[in-house]
């Protein structure tokens, strides 16, 4: 599995757009990129997944450049309730693989 690197923490003011970038230099051709969000004392929850270019849903957007060596999770106009830890995962459908979530990025939204 491709190793991922993301910032440990970020701060943002309410109403701003937040971009969290994840590096995955060794991503394989059939790998997908998935992001999870975790609130304190809860389990992580799936928020978005993509393979290339751009994916958007009601929660976030995911931007993946052509070389796919990184991806950026974009949260539009964050609110205090977006304060959470965000994890980036890389995986494929080639069978079961042990997945590590790492430490993630702790986003603190400031009023």
Query: Using CB under 8 A as the criterion, which residues of the chain lie in contact with other proteins when the complex forms?
Result: 32, 34, 36, 41-46, 49, 87, 89, 91-93, 95-104
Which among 91, 96, 85, 3 has a CA at the least distance from the CA of 43? 85
Tell the smallest beta-carbon distance from residue 5 to other proteins (Å).
13
- How far is 73 from 76, CA to CA, in rounded Å? 10
- Residues in CB range of 77: below 8 A, 6 or more apart: 15, 16, 17
**How many alpha carbons lie under 13 Å from residue 69 in its C-beta half-sphere?**
3
**What's the closest the beta carbon of residue 89 comes to other proteins, in angstroms?**
6
Of 16 and 30, which has the nearer Cβ to other proteins?
30
Taking the least distance from each CB to other proteins, the nearer of 98 and 111 is 98
Minimum separation from the CB atom of position 12 to other proteins (A): 21
Q: How far, CA to CA in Å, does 99 sit from each of 32, 96, 105?
A: 13, 9, 17
- CB of residue 109 vs other proteins: minimum separation in angstroms? 20
Name the residue nearer to other proteins (CB basis): 72 or 91.
91
- Please, which residue, 94 or 111, has the CB nearer to other proteins? 94
């Amino acid at each position: 599995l491709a190793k991922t690197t993301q910032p440990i923490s970020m701060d943002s003011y309410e109403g701003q757009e937040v971009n969290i970038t994840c590096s995955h230099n060794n991503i394989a051709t059939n790998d997908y990129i998935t992001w999870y969000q975790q609130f304190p004392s809860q389990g992580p929850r799936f928020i978005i997944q993509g393979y290339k270019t751009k994916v958007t849903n009601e929660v976030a957007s995911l931007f993946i450049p052509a070389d796919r060596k990184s991806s950026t999770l974009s949260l539009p106009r964050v609110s205090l309730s977006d304060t959470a830890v965000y994890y980036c995962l890389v995986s494929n459908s080639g069978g079961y693989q042990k997945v590590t979530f790492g430490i993630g990025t702790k986003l603190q939204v400031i009023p």
